[in-house]
Amino acid sequence: MKAAAAAALLVAGATAHAGRPCEEKPPTVGQIEQGLALAQATARQLDASGAQVVLLARAGQDLSKYGLQWSHLGFVYKDATAGAWRVVHKLNHCGTDHAALYRQGLGEFFLDNPKRYEAAYVVLSPELQQALLPVLADNGRVARFNERRYSMVAYPFATTYQQSNQWVLETLAGAAAPGVGSRRDAQAWVRAQGYRPTDLHLSTLTRLGGRLTQANIAFDDHPSARRFTSHIDTVTVDSLFAWLPRVQLSDTPHIVRK
């Protein structure tokens, strides 16, 4: 979809997708109906949960060959003034090497032509919800850990690039640990808390093809010893959904179907 329909936090009027090239063709009536139905089902479950802040995932791409269910993650919070759920997430600009943060409604979040019309969310711990709520409502504070330079496979413990799920993780760390003041601090904290990124096994040919043909893929931030043996570590929704309940920062994932 055209993300210009959303209210951009850092840029206005730009098109963006979650790590994918932009598609100029508009969504079909069927896609709109399915996306809105999923948004309504999600809103009903979130209302029933009693939560104020959750992490919400969608299946924007088919990552089943890597053993992954979900591709993209965002914060969802209850806007007390409007009485509606808002999504804050990071989007890559049409396959380029940069990205920005956006605030959208649930309907817009699911109109990005996902591979599956399903969603998943985790309810964050009450303390973490209270810490995040004022951050998510403030454009300046929510961008504190944002890095414009984007790589779809950014290394979780480097600051050269940042991908969408990594921004969520670092922002969450900043709210969970008051002493975290930088991306380096956030990365050190999640590592100390036992966070383990997903290990993608990508051959040399795959890495070379991705780097040469796609501006939003880079591998030079990864440790050479890992990269040269085809191990690419990156932040995924699935790895976060496994880690958060383990360290008691959330409950277990809930699935939403339209």
Q: What are 203-227's pLDDT values in tens digits?
A: 654 655 555 458 899 999 999 999 8
Alpha-helical runs (H) found in the chain:
29-49, 106-109, 126-136, 139-142, 164-176, 183-192, 204-213, 224-227, 237-246
The pLDDT of residue 25: 75
| Plot region of 212 (φ>0 → left; ψ -120 to 50 → alpha; else → beta) | alpha
Residues 6+ apart with CB under 8 A from 54: 46, 75, 76, 121, 122, 123, 124
C-beta separation of 156 from 87 below 8 A: no
The pLDDT of residue 3: 35
For 150-199, the pLDDT digits (tens) are: 999 999 999 999 999 999 999 999 999 989 999 999 999 999 999 999 99
Strands 99-105 and 7-8: what pairing?
A: antiparallel
Give the residue extent of every domain in the chain: 3-257
The pLDDT of residue 76: 98
What CATH number has the domain spanning 3-257?
Answer: 3.90.1720.10
DSSP-assigned beta bridge partners for residue 101: 90
The span from the CA of 26 to the CA of 24, in Å, is 6
